[in-house]
Structure 1
Amino acid sequence: MSDTMIQIENLSKLYRLGTIGSGTFKRDLNNWLRGIFRKNSDSPARLRETGENAFAGKDHLWALRNVTFDIKEGEVCGIIGRNGAGKSTLLKVLSKITRPTEGFVRGRGKISSLLEIGTGFHADLSGRENIFISGSMLGMKKTEIKKKFDEIVEFSGIEQFLDTPVKRYSSGMYVRLAFGVAAHLEPDILIVDEVLAVGDAEFQKKCMGKMKDVSHQKGRTILFVSHNLQAVNNLCSKAIWLQKGSIHAMGETQMVVNRYLGAFQKKMWKREWGSPREAPGNDWLRILSVELIPHLPNPMAPIDIRTPLTVRFRFHNFNNQIHLSANLVLFSLAGDCIFDVPSVSGDFNEGVVEGECTIPGRFLNDGSYYFSLFFLKDTSRTIFEYEECLHFDVEDHRENIHWYDKWVGAVRPHFPFTLRNGNVSNNGHGALDTRRHLL
């Protein structure tokens, strides 16, 4: 179709692993001759015929395997996946840095790539000189660079260090300048790898705004690789999930991100034992079951900061007329205590006792957590400790907030908090209204 900017079909990339030299001249010469033969004989058809059988084994790796998708004009496509999934290899093929082993890539228009911090920069030259060098390498004419020069400098925020050699720049200043040049090139296709992670919150907001402006207002296409799934959700209209070099899911961004998070969340959410003899415990009590129940509208969706959580447990009490209570304690993965909630105590006879506690949504911060249960007699004597009984992850979620860095704090409560205009005093000067309001 005429609005297709990038068309990829059956794209595969094979890498040979190991050292460059074999250790002996004879083997190096033999490998060199094999390489010449392979260049002449290993056409895509030949590679498909021999397939993985010819290159299988520990000496070779398929970084990409049969990747097929299209990107339309004006689309912002996020590419997600774990380290080693093939994301950077895909972008290098699209940027013509490396050639594919199989398949083909068709594209139209000018491509600008920002794959590494300070690509094309010369360490001994100043920021001013590197703007012209980097711009020229990315396809800009000198007149275009001069026209955009002030915008690039203002965007990157390095006016004070413009004539300083870039070898004295911090990594943040490097990426500010590099992204400033690439973003003002006005390409038809902008390819951005995980380089914005080194920027501060203000710069990340500026970059996201610039990419939105480039895609929405100017109709340009963006491929965005990031482990920051909040930024992917906020920026991208579609997403591709790469796993072990192949496309595992592709489609609407929220759907793909939810599937990705759901697949890798540590789901130790339920434990159950058939009989008290097999269950953890002692002569006082035995645990029969313990379960984490997230209140999710879609069972496939991941737990995020909005999700209420219910902990439900059952245990067998072996004593009559015993005064029992339980404490539910939440810890971060590092072992820091987030909270300790005691139950209402009561008198119980021998038999099954059930307990339940609900943690409201918009209380926990994103991160990894585990629960422990402590059972007490007479609210003072611990009779059994069931540590690390449930493990779970909480993912981030932000609405109308242009902040993509880690949200600080052990918890993230949603307290009533408002701002309002101050009153104007009789003398005409603005005065702050000190009244506080709760919704």
Structure 2
Amino acid sequence: MSDTVIKVEHLSKQYRLGEVGTGALSHDLNRWWHLIRGKEDPYLNIGDINDRTRKGSSDYIWALRNINFEVKQGEVVGVIGKNGAGKSTLLKILSKTTGPTTGSVKIKGRISSLLEVGTGFHPELSGRDNIFLNGAILGMKKSEIQRKFDEIVDFSGVERYIDTPVKRYSSGMYVRLAFAVAAHLEPDILIIDEVLAVGDVEFQKKCLGKMKDVSTKDGRTVLFVSHNLTAIKNICSTSIFMQQGTIERNGNTEEVLKYYLSHNTTTKSKQCFESPAIAPGNEFVRIRRVEAVSPELKKGESFTVHTPINIEIEFWNYTEGREINISLHFDTMNYECVFNVGTTPQLLKKGVYKAVCQIPGDFLNDGLFSIRIMFVADKSIPLYVFNDAINVEVHEDRTESDWHGKWPGFVRPLLKFPLISLS
């Protein structure tokens, strides 16, 4: 028997912007007429790639286009790529949350998925009831779930609240229990999206360790979507790099990561979106503009280690009367956080807002950095994370010294460090 547990062939997924179905009776009739005559769907020949940075020529977009890959039993496969690359759409199709437009997916074994906060649990049921509900959905007997129950609760760390309806859980508590259930109820295939970013650092480490154990000790398969390249490198044997709905590179994790980083070093110090319809975001917030500027530079001049840099963020806010704050993460290209800073939480009305993070000169080392932006409500509820919003490239200033090496570290602040003679 083949050890292939997932086989994806010529998989594509098409959406019509702002509509359910084709959005027009004439289009539906046209599709039906082609179907009964055994003809190809006429709308499969149109549609733009999923590029949210520009306005398309069609209302149809391809979230996925001609995806092909196989996953072997016991593999931990990382899925990487920028926002909008099609990663979550792929996982939803594999989880049978949505169906493909064309192509086929063959899966051997039962799947447990953790795709986003708020799915998989019934909000009115307690944590205890939801554990048994999820086990039943996976086809497990009550005795099997009871055997795993204590282990699940202990791993999640929410024992005190296990008989409380999950609608009263914080997002962190929810993810803790959801991951514990997904990982311990013995699925053949475990699918995890970036949702683990909601948890605290300690719990993230526990989850990564558990995913590794599930693969190496139990021989089960894991698909893991993450922007944390260090985590991908540590636990994934193979990886898939997706870009604009297609697979750009598939294979050994180290080789895929090198390719990904080498193809994501073009400095884009500005991103502007014409309207909310094409802007990254969701029903809570959408990004209007993110730009790195400096009051000291003329047009065309580059940032140096001495240049003060302002990160300007404009966004549409759709949440009325909630406390909103923005957390800005300044990362290396390996997604190691250089620093994190947040705005003061403010009660916002619906409208357009701007925030500016001021980074002083003589603070950053030379190198290429990535800006990650998180919108948070009520101090703890994540609304939206915009990874790879822009890149900032800082150059060495060679005019001031004969030093031509590379200074270690991510920052090099200008500090007082006098040399005092004691003789």
Whether the TM-score (by the shorter chain) exceeds 0.5 is yes
What runs of 5+ residues in structure 2 fail to find an aligned partner?
Answer: 49-56, 269-296, 306-331, 337-355, 372-391, 401-407, 414-423
Contact 1:305 1:395 in 2 (8 A): no
Where in structure 2 are the equivalents of 1:192-207 lying within 5 Å? Answer: 192-207=192-207
1:339 to 362, 366, 373: 362
Q: Partner of 1:97: helix, strand, or coil?
A: coil
Contact 2:363 2:412 in 1 (8 A): no
Q: Which residue of 1 aligns with 2:327?
A: none
Where in structure 2 are the equivalents of 1:396-407 lying within 5 Å? Answer: none
Q: Partner of 1:58: helix, strand, or coil?
A: coil
- 1: distance between equivalents of 2:117 and 2:159? 19
- 2: distance between equivalents of 1:89 and 1:181? 23
Contact 2:85 2:242 in 1 (8 A): yes
1:53 aligns with 2:77: no
CA distances 1:110-165 after superposition (whole Å, capped 9, x unpaired): 11111122423222221111211222223322111111110110011001111111
Q: Measure how far apart 1:337 and its partner are.
A: 3.1
Q: Measure how far apart 1:105 and its partner are.
A: 1.4
Q: One-letter code of the match for 1:370? A: V
What is the aligned residue count? 306
Contact 2:64 2:246 in 1 (8 A): yes
CA distances 1:64-86 after superposition (whole Å, capped 9, x unpaired): 11111111111111011111111
Distance 1:213 1:375, change over 3 A: closer
Where in structure 2 are the equivalents of 1:143-158 lying within 5 Å? Answer: 143-158=143-158
Give the TM-score normalised by structure 2: 0.62
Distance 1:142 1:395, change over 3 A: farther
Q: Measure how far apart 1:336 and its partner are.
A: 2.1
Q: Partner of 2:362: helix, strand, or coil?
A: strand
CA distances 1:260-294 after superposition (whole Å, capped 9, x unpaired): 122222459xxxxxxxxxxxx9xxxxxx99999xx
- 2: distance between equivalents of 1:158 and 1:8? 37
- 1: distance between equivalents of 2:6 and 2:363? 54
Contact 1:240 1:250 in 2 (8 A): yes
Q: One-letter code of the match for 1:251? A: G
What runs of 5+ residues in structure 1 fail to find an aligned partner?
Answer: 269-280, 282-287, 293-301, 307-332, 342-358, 377-393, 397-409, 413-439
1:370 aligns with 2:362: no
Q: Which residue of 2 aligns with 1:98?
A: 98
Which deviates more from structure 2 when the two are superposed, residues 12-21 or residues 83-92?
12-21
- 1: distance between equivalents of 2:132 and 2:215? 25
Q: Partner of 1:71: helix, strand, or coil?
A: strand
- 1: distance between equivalents of 2:409 and 2:399? 30
- 1: distance between equivalents of 2:358 and 2:303? 20
- 2: distance between equivalents of 1:411 and 1:162? 48
Q: Partner of 2:6: helix, strand, or coil?
A: strand
Larger radius of gyration: 1
Q: Which residue of 2 aligns with 1:403?
A: none
1:33 aligns with 2:29: yes
Contact 1:112 1:187 in 2 (8 A): yes
Q: Which residue of 2 aligns with 1:209?
A: 209
- 2: distance between equivalents of 1:34 and 1:289? 54
- RMSD, aligned α-carbons: 4.0
Contact 1:120 1:137 in 2 (8 A): no
Q: Measure how far apart 1:35 and its partner are.
A: 4.7
1:86 aligns with 2:86: yes
Q: One-letter code of the match for 1:174? A: Y
Which deviates more from structure 2 when the two are superposed, residues 187-196 or residues 97-106?
97-106
Q: One-letter code of the match for 1:33? A: L
Give the TM-score normalised by structure 1: 0.60
Contact 2:84 2:244 in 1 (8 A): yes
Contact 1:366 1:395 in 2 (8 A): no
Contact 1:80 1:240 in 2 (8 A): yes
